[in-house]
């Protein structure tokens, strides 16, 4: 899979704390093809945001241990020096965050924040940068951008702010865009607009995109591939169709059952997965999901609680981490 644009091999991220080492990501391997959209889904604490930040290099090096390899277009991000890494942020790769209000600096005009982003990576005058900023705002559908460019974040609506964030992320034409819950903090009516905007822009620019979300509706609409994370591990990976229609891991099935389906097949009652996410300091033995798994009876013996299953093929371009696939009787 060397042709893949982004390739992550055996990524391990842990945070030493007073209570013990938090293993936020444990041996994550996945790849995204150029121009594709990958959705990473999972509960909070599943390691999806940490993975995104590890790719961006936003984790505090003093408080984090990172192992493995992250190759972006063949460049090993974890091996290159911090200054090079920094220069790639905002240009080669960019990121959009969940809450646009808190993610924009409240004391600076949005224009100045955009201009700042331009001028770190491009050797242009302030005036040219301002033109770019206005263009960027126009491109994300902000009306009257010449005026809005001088607004402060608190003067904009939530949807407008997220558009500003998107404009800021795209302003240097990144090859990789990571969107961490881009619509979660927004009004429902605005969510679809932002999703559409992102898809439109991706079409225009061909940017590779990673969307982190727990909103399976967004996934269905945007993603080519889906990666389901649980307890810091990939538990299922495949094309969006494969994962949606043939979920091969009980956790994925649980997730799908817990949300209204966008394909029309509404479950009238939501079906949340009982139990709590696993401890990342002392994860459960065997399969990390087994304490909450409804289908473990289908696996003979105490395999689920003693042996961690491998990620095995569940179909074409579809893998999952479950003893059911090898030992069970579906």
Contacting positions for other proteins (CB under 8 A): 56, 58, 62, 86-91, 94-95, 97, 99, 102-107, 116-117, 120-121, 152, 154, 165, 168-169
Q: At its nearest, how many Å lie between other proteins and the CB of residue 76?
A: 18
Sheet holding 65-72, edge to edge: 20-32, 6-17, 65-72, 75-76
91 CB burial (10 A radius; 0-12, 13-18, 19+) = middle
Q: At its nearest, how many Å lie between other proteins and the CB of residue 114?
A: 10
Q: At its nearest, how many Å lie between other proteins and the CB of residue 89?
A: 4
Mapping DSSP onto H, E and C, the string for 119-156 reads HHHCCCCHHHHHHHHHHHHHHCCCCCHHHHCCCCHHHC
Q: Identify which of residues 12 and 89 has a Cβ nearer to other proteins in the complex.
A: 89
Read off the tokens for 124.
């242009």
Q: Identify which of residues 120 and 262 has a Cβ nearer to other proteins in the complex.
A: 120
Q: Identify which of residues 120 and 259 has a Cβ nearer to other proteins in the complex.
A: 120
Q: At its nearest, how many Å lie between other proteins and the CB of residue 103?
A: 4
- Residue in 262, 271, 138 with CA at minimum distance from that of residue 191: 262
Q: Identify which of residues 149 and 249 has a Cβ nearer to other proteins in the complex.
A: 149
Q: At its nearest, how many Å lie between other proteins and the CB of residue 214?
A: 18
Do residues 234 and 26 lie in contact, with contact meaning Cβ atoms separated by under 8 Å?
Answer: no
Q: Identify which of residues 168 and 222 has a Cβ nearer to other proteins in the complex.
A: 168
The number of helix segments (H) and strand segments (E) in the chain equals 13, 12
């Amino acid at each position: 899979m060397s042709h893949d644009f982004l390739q992550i091999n055996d990524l391990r991220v842990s945070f030493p704390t007073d209570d013990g080492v938090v293993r936020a990501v444990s041996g994550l391997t996945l790849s995204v093809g150029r121009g594709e959209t990958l959705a990473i889904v999972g509960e909070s604490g599943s390691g999806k945001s940490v993975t995104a930040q590890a790719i961006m290099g936003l984790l505090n090096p003093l408080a984090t241990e990172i192992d493995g390899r992250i190759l972006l277009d063949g460049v090993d991000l974890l091996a290159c020096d911090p200054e090079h890494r920094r220069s790639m942020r905002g240009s080669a790769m960019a990121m959009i965050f969940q809450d646009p209000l808190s993610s924009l600096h409240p004391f600076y005009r949005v224009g100045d924040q955009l201009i700042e982003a331009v001028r770190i990576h491009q050797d242009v005058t302030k005036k040219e940068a301002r033109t770019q900023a206005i263009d960027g705002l126009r491109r994300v559908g902000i009306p009257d951008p010449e005026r809005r460019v001088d607004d402060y974040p608190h003067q904009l609506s939530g949807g407008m702010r997220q558009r500003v964030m998107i404009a800021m992320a795209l302003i240097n034409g990144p090859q990789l865009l990571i969107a961490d819950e881009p619509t979660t903090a927004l009004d429902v009516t605005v969510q679809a607009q932002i999703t559409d905007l992102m898809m439109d822009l991706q079409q225009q620019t061909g940017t590779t995109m990673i969307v982190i979300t727990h909103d399976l509706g967004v996934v269905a609409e945007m993603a080519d591939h889906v990666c389901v994370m649980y307890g810091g591990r990939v538990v299922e990976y495949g094309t969006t169709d494969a994962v949606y229609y043939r979920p091969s891991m009980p956790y994925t099935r649980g997730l799908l059952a817990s949300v209204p389906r966008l394909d029309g097949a509404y479950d009238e009652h939501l079906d949340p997965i009982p139990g709590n996410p696993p401890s990342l300091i002392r994860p459960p033995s065997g399969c990390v999901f087994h304490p909450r798994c409804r289908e473990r009876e289908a696996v003979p013996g105490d395999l689920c609680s003693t042996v961690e299953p491998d990620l095995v093929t569940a179909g074409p371009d579809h893998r999952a981490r479950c003893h059911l696939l090898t030992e069970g009787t579906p």
